[in-house]
Every structure is written in structure tokens, then in C-alpha cells.
Amino acid sequence: MNAADIAKIAGVSRSTVSRVVNNYGNVTEETRSKVLDIIKEYNYVPHASAQMLAGKKSKIMGLFIIDTKDEKEGNKMCTSSYFSPFTDAVIDAANKQRYNVLISMINEDNDYNNVKELFQNKTISAGIFIGAKNNEPAIKEIIEEGYKIAVIEQEVAGEQDPFSKCIVVNSDSFGGGYQATKYLIQLGHKNIAHLCGDMEQLTAISRIEGYKKALLDAGVSIKNNLIVKGDYTEESGYKAVKKLLLKEKLTAIFIANDSMSIGAMRAIEELGLKIPEDISVVGFDDIEVSRHLQPSLTTVRVPLFQMAFMAANNLIKANDENIDFYANYKIPVELIIRNSCKQMEV
Amino acid sequence: MNAADIAKIAGVSRSTVSRVVNNYGNVTEETRSKVLDIIKEYNYVPHASAQMLAGKKSKIMGLFIIDTKDEKEGNKMCTSSYFSPFTDAVIDAANKQRYNVLISMINEDNDYNNVKELFQNKTISAGIFIGAKNNEPAIKEIIEEGYKIAVIEQEVAGEQDPFSKCIVVNSDSFGGGYQATKYLIQLGHKNIAHLCGDMEQLTAISRIEGYKKALLDAGVSIKNNLIVKGDYTEESGYKAVKKLLLKEKLTAIFIANDSMSIGAMRAIEELGLKIPEDISVVGFDDIEVSRHLQPSLTTVRVPLFQMAFMAANNLIKANDENIDFYANYKIPVELIIRNSCKQMEV
DNA sequence: CTGAAAGCGCTTACAG
DNA sequence: CTGAAAGCGCTTACAG
């Protein structure tokens, strides 16, 4: 059952069937309803590929989740606590506008080639990237080929930067790092450590900057031996904090994400220390588990739902209206105070 | 840059370009490598829609996540802790075989029409359903139209049932309910309550059956006032258990999933009772948070990764080889003992 | 408002 | 082993 069949049955031309299907204006009401009836009766659905080949654009957008950490069994789930609400929201936003979303994971650099192919072979007409390292050249290449792109957490380095030619949605990582650290300072802490995230990502870079600025503004000196490196995985949090506590004296630690905080809490506990009595902890992201931890984790909430909606809706708009629309959003974050920090005694 | 351009540059016909692209045998090595070079040089990628229209089948499979609960903000995240590992594994399995996956949520019955359209307009050539209620007629319809389908957690009611014409992957919910309950019995509990899941779903139906059978086998009488209804959401767990504890006397409760267990634990705590000292709790699913709860939750692990791989791989195989392949798997589950249950004193 | 025709970019018998 | 041609199912100027 194709357009020609419908045309024959309805006694009109294929052109007219097409006009009805696409809801164009230049058809009599009578013709339209006659054709519509036949379409319904025979349950005719236009062949998407034929439509595309003839000029319609794809209603499929890509969502690409970058996670190039070496995967142990455990990690996967953790990273997905961050990506999963984002994914849900993208699908939700897309479906509402009759778009579909094709999701793919990027675990190694080579996977970017598959993504590029998806654009080139016209399967998708737009794409969202989340989890990429800052300045990722593979994404820049795709943007430069002229495809419609939205990126989460990317720095735009001036007008020459390809990232200025897409939709960028960032959270205020600097502000979040600042707030988190300031909160610890206000509680009376002096020796506040920081566990960094994967420094290839913008979030990690900005969160540590916020941390440093807060210390600076409060006149607390920055001690480099209190700053340690992680890679955003739970395991890295565990190791880094265990090592740190064995060497340094501190009463509080600001950790660049919640997954590492979970590992850190395990390390602290294993060393016989109590949270928050001995060590105060602030995380970042507010993933689902954080409110269920013992003690519940004080953290900075990143509004991933909202960011997903902005990325998806802007992208769809640009695609539907066939316009070049570029933007650079910075979404505010919020400190969520729970039970992992305590006021220092005076 | 299309096949005709490549053909002209390489000095061959479009047919030959097509043969090279599709890696057919009947081309001289010389011709092949010449064409391949040109393709690489000009970065030619065949138009996916044109290929499909000319007869190739779609390399996109659909993944449909059914969640028809009334959505409050909170629920969404909870349900996704169950779906998210499954989704990850499906994408992983698909990508490994050069398939892409298009994900869509079904929040109301009407959304099934969009799914059907995706098959009818040939965007996807196969699909996986997870979260559907048992016996879902909308899915039956799709199977009956002849599309390649895999379904998670569905009962197959004989050879006449449309579900016998697809790939069914179930976990052993009955066995899990049985094990969980038996474990509580062995710990010396007599008054073991059960909080059911959404009874429209096969898992809920089978889990309660396992519970009853375990009691029966142990000679413990089934008390209907100890069996209460939930709908798999955290909130329903909270409400049901609060009400239950106010009325009945019990020392243990087997809860049909972990999300409800989280709500239940909150209810128990609010009533001033301790887990496991006053009430032992066993959940089901082993979602990510469960091991982080306080106390960590004893639960039945459902191997969603494995189920996802079976569904995806079987489906892809059936699609690639263009065969009708039907199967009905029952995947074993495992009781994960943590700290939410205690041995009764003698 | 409507139809005949060209064209989108491939694949696949068919013939050689 | 290779090419000319038909065909996949649409949309969109163009002409009326």
C-alpha cells in the first residue's frame, strides 16, 4: 500500500495524496477529507526513507554519550546516574515535538567516526553531545562540516572556535564550586581539601577554579597538597581520599562529583573516621543516590533536566526552521544542604 | 558527492560502486581497491535512505520503555534506575553489531501508535519492549503485523498467543520471590508480609506466587492481611507499609521491588522502628542505590545486562539473517544478602 | 486547486 | 567481472 495505490482508490493523483499527507493548503476540503478517509481505511503510512530521499529532513536526532573511562563493571552504572536523567529529558522533549532520538555511546575516540557517518548518511539531522572532554577536536570537526549540534559542558574560546557555531549548554560549575567551598568556610573549616574530577572536562576545570576563588576571597590560603586528582569514578575517589587522609590534616573536603564522593565516604569510614564529625564532605551533581547515602550527601545540584530541554528544544527549533541558531547558556546550580557537613567548634 | 560521482571519477559504473560499497564478491581486486581509494579520498558515504528505499533494511532498532505511572517529578528517576542498565546494555550490544538504537518512552496507551508508525514507515526494522503490562494488547497487535520483536517480562499463553511469535526474555521472578521468602523463613520469621508490585505486570504476579509457595512449602500459613498492594513506585511503598505497620503485627516483609523498599524503609523509620532489629526487609531488582541504603538492602538481583544482551543479540540475528526466530528465555536471579534482615531469636 | 513528470540516490536482476 | 536500465516511494517545481 503506497501513495500510488491511495491515489488510484481516491481517484486523484499522487501529487494530491502527497499534499494531503503533508497537510498543505492548496487542496479542497472535499478532496482532502476523501483522501484522508482512504488513508485511514487502508492504514497507509508513508515510507520515511522515500520521504527523506525526496527532500524531507530526518526527524531523528542523535544523542551521544561520551564515556571514555576504562570500563570496569562497576563504573558503568555510576556514570549512568549522571547521564540517565539527561537522557530521559532529551527523549521527552524530542518526542513531544514528534522527533525520535537515537542514542549511542562513545567509549573510544574511534567511535566518533560512527557518529560522523550517521550525519553523513543522513540518518540524523542533528545531534547532542554530553560527557565530552573540553575542546574535543572530533566534535569540532563535525560542527565544521555544518551539522546542527548541541553540546553540554564546553568552553567557547572566542568567535573563531567551532563551538561558537552550535548550541552550548553549560551549568555554572565555577559558581557551584565557589558556593560549596564558601559553605565549608562559613562552617568554620580552614583545612579544606579538594578532589578534582577528570581535568580534561570543563566541569572539573571550573569546579576547582570556584574552589580556589572561594578560598582566596575568604583569605584562606590555597594549599596544593590538599588538592588531589580523581577522574570522576567512584574508585578514583576512594583511592585518592584514602591516600590524602593518610598524609594530610584536614577537616573538610569538596569533591568534584557525587560518584567520587561515594568512594571517598567509603575510604573515610575505613580509616575509622566519621562523617561529618571528623570530616565534612560536599559533593557535586546531586545524582539519585546522594540523598540516600549515610549520611545523606550535601552537594551541588546540576539541573540536568532543564539543560536537556534547552539543548533539545533549541536544536529542534533550529532544525525545523532550518536556521543557524547558536547560543551559549549558563544554567545556575544550587547547593543542597544535607547531613555530611558540620559546623566547627569555636 | 554520490555514487554516480564516484563512478565517474573511478571510471566505472554505478553498479560497480555499489558492489564495492556492499562488499560483494564479483569485483576484481584491482577495481575494488581503485574504487575504495576514490571513496576514501572524497569521503563518500552512501545515503542511508536511498539504500533502504532500494531494498536494504534499516540498521536501526527501537527500544521502547513503558512507564504509564502518573509521573510526579520524583518517580521518573526511580524507574530509570531499573531501566537504565538495561538501556545501556542494549545500546552496547547493538552498536557492537553496527546497529543503532532509537529509544522512545511510552507513557500512555496512545504512544503505542507512534511506535507502530515507526515500524510501518520503515524507520526501524525491529524493536524491544520493556516495562509493559502483562498481555499488553498493543504489543500483540504489532507482533501480529509481522514485525521483529523482543519483549522483556511477558507471559506466553500457549502457541496461539502472539507473544509466542517473538523473543521473550523473562527473569525468574517466581524463583526470586521463593528464595527471598524462604530466606526470611530460615531466619526464623513467621509473620512475613508481602508488598506487591503493579499487578498488571508479570513480575509482580510471579513474585507474589513465589512468596506464597515458599510459605506453603514451609508450612507457614498465608495471611491475606499481610499482603498489601503497591505499584512499584517509592511513594506507594511508603504509604502501603506505613498503613500496614499500623494495623498488623509482623517481623519481616518481602517487597516486590527496591524502589518500593526505599519508601518502605522511610515509613518504618518514621514509625520509630529499626531495620533489621524490628523489621527485616528483602527487596527485588538490586538497583544501583540498594547497596548504598542504610542499612544496605538484601535483595534479589535481576541480571538486566544479560537480559538486554539476549534480547538485542537474538533480535539482530533474526533481522540480519531474515529468519523468524522465536524464543522464551527464563534467566536465573540471585539473592544478594546484605544487612536489612536479622535472625530471629529462639 | 490539480496532475504529469522529473528527480532524490541507491540496489538489483538482466544481459553480456 | 561489468554496465545499462528499471525500480524503490516519495516530493516538488511546472504547467494548466
In 3D space, the residue among A73, A304, A292, A262 whose CA is nearest the CA of residue B304 turns out to be: A73
Q: Name the pLDDT band for A119 (thresholds 50, 70, 90).
A: very high
Express as a percent the part of chain A with pLDDT over 70.
97
What region does A98 belong to: left with phi over 0, alpha with psi -120 to 50, or beta? Answer: left
Question: Residue B167 and residue B327: Cα distance in Å, rounded?
Answer: 5
Domains A3-53 and A60-171+304-333 share a fold: no
In 3D space, the residue among A203, A111, A195 whose CA is nearest the CA of residue A151 turns out to be: A203
* Nearest residue in B to A124, CA atom: B48
Nearest nt to B121, CA vs C1'? D9
Inter-CA distances, A98 with A195, A238, B51, Å: 42, 44, 24
Q: Is A94 exposed, middle or buried (0-12, 13-18, 19+ CB in 10 A)?
A: buried
Q: Which three cell numbers stand for residue A6?
A: 491511495
Which pLDDT value is given to residue A81? 84
Q: Name the pLDDT band for B244 (thresholds 50, 70, 90).
A: very high
With CB atoms and an 8 Å threshold, state whether B103 touches A105.
no
* Nearest residue in A to B101, CA atom: A102
With CB atoms and an 8 Å threshold, state whether A289 touches B294.
no
Facing B80 at nearest CB: one of A48, A78, A84? A84
Residues A145, A127 contacting (CB under 8 angstroms):
no
Residues B136, B200 contacting (CB under 8 angstroms):
no
Residues A65, A104 contacting (CB under 8 angstroms):
yes
User: Does residue A75 carry a pLDDT above 50?
Assistant: no
Facing A95 at nearest CB: one of B48, B104, B288? B104
Nearest nt to B30, CA vs C1'? D1
Residues 112 through 171 of chain B touching chain A, CB cutoff 8 Å: 114, 117-118, 120-123
Facing A292 at nearest CB: one of B85, B120, B292? B292
Rounded to an integer, the average pLDDT of B4-29 is 94
User: Does residue B80 carry a pLDDT above 80?
Assistant: no
User: Does residue B145 carry a pLDDT above 70?
Assistant: yes
CATH number of A60-171+304-333: 3.40.50.2300
Residues B81, B336 contacting (CB under 8 angstroms):
no
Which pLDDT value is given to residue A80? 73
Which pLDDT value is given to residue A226? 98
Which pLDDT value is given to residue B78? 46
Find out if CATH 3.50.50.60 is the number for domain B60-172+304-331.
no
The mean pLDDT of chain B is 94
φ, ψ of residue A225 to 5 degrees: the values are -75, -5
Which pLDDT value is given to residue A229? 97
Residues A2-47 pLDDT 10s: 999 999 999 999 999 999 999 998 899 999 999 999 999 999 999 9
* Nearest residue in A to B2, CA atom: A121
What is the CA A177 to C1' D14 distance in angstroms? 63
Which pLDDT value is given to residue A74? 44
Interface probe for A, chosen from B2, B49, B111, B291 (most Cβ of A below 10 Å), is: B49
Question: Residue B186 and residue A273: Cα distance in Å, rounded?
Answer: 36
Ordered by start, the domain boundaries in chain A are: 3-53, 60-171+304-333, 173-302
Report the CATH superfamily, name and number, of domain B173-302: Response regulator (3.40.50.2300)
Residues A135-181 pLDDT 10s: 999 999 999 999 999 999 999 999 999 999 999 999 999 999 999 99
What is the CA A8 to C1' C5 distance in angstroms? 17
Query: A3-53 architecture in CATH?
Result: Orthogonal Bundle (1.10)
Contacts of B278 (CB under 8 A, 6+ apart): B251, B268
Helix ranges (H only) for chain A are: 3-10, 14-21, 29-42, 48-53, 73-96, 111-120, 137-144, 173-186, 202-218, 234-247, 258-270, 304-320
Express as a percent the part of chain B with pLDDT over 70.
97
Q: Which three cell numbers stand for residue A320?
A: 525545523
The separation between CA B137 and the C-alpha centre of its own chain, rounded to angstroms, equals 18
Question: Residue A122 and residue A323: Cα distance in Å, rounded?
Answer: 18
Residues A78-95 pLDDT 10s: 457 899 999 999 999 999
Chain B positions touching A293 (Cβ under 8 A) are 292, 294
Does the beta carbon of B85 lie under 8 angstroms from any beta carbon of chain A?
Answer: yes
Q: Name the pLDDT band for B187 (thresholds 50, 70, 90).
A: very high
Residues B290-327 pLDDT 10s: 999 999 999 999 999 999 999 999 999 999 998 999 99
In 3D space, the residue among A324, A315, A280 whose CA is nearest the CA of residue A298 turns out to be: A280
Q: For strand C, which nucleotides have at least one atom less than 7 Å from a protein CB? A: 1-5, 7-13
Which pLDDT value is given to residue B70? 62
- H or E segment at A160? none
What is the CA A204 to C1' C14 distance in angstroms? 63
With CB atoms and an 8 Å threshold, state whether A77 touches B60.
no
Location of C-alpha cell 560536599: A282
Of the two residues B69 and B207, the one the predictor is more confident about is B207
The angle, 0 to 180 degrees and rounded to 10, between the axes of the packed helices B29-42 and B3-10 is: 120
Does the beta carbon of B273 lie under 8 angstroms from any beta carbon of chain A?
Answer: no
Residues B251-285 pLDDT 10s: 999 999 999 999 999 999 999 999 999 999 999 99
Which pLDDT value is given to residue B69? 73
Question: Residue B86 and residue B81: Cα distance in Å, rounded?
Answer: 9
With CB atoms and an 8 Å threshold, state whether A105 touches B88.
yes
Question: Residue A20 and residue A41: Cα distance in Å, rounded?
Answer: 15
Q: Name the pLDDT band for B79 (thresholds 50, 70, 90).
A: low
Q: Name the pLDDT band for A70 (thresholds 50, 70, 90).
A: low
Residues A250, A191 contacting (CB under 8 angstroms):
yes
Which pLDDT value is given to residue B42? 95
Residues A174-218 pLDDT 10s: 999 999 999 999 999 999 999 999 999 999 999 999 999 999 999
What region does B122 belong to: left with phi over 0, alpha with psi -120 to 50, or beta? Answer: left
Contacts of A185 (CB under 8 A, 6+ apart): A192, A214, A215, A218, A220
Q: Name the pLDDT band for B133 (thresholds 50, 70, 90).
A: very high
Residues B188-232 pLDDT 10s: 999 999 999 999 999 999 999 999 999 999 999 999 999 999 999
Per-residue flag: A36 CB under 7 A of strand D = no
What is the CA A119 to C1' D7 distance in angstroms? 26
With CB atoms and an 8 Å threshold, state whether B123 touches A48.
yes
Per-residue flag: A46 CB under 7 A of strand D = yes
Quickly count: other Cβ atoms within 10 Å of residue B272's Cβ. Answer: 7
Question: Residue B13 and residue A51: Cα distance in Å, rounded?
Answer: 26
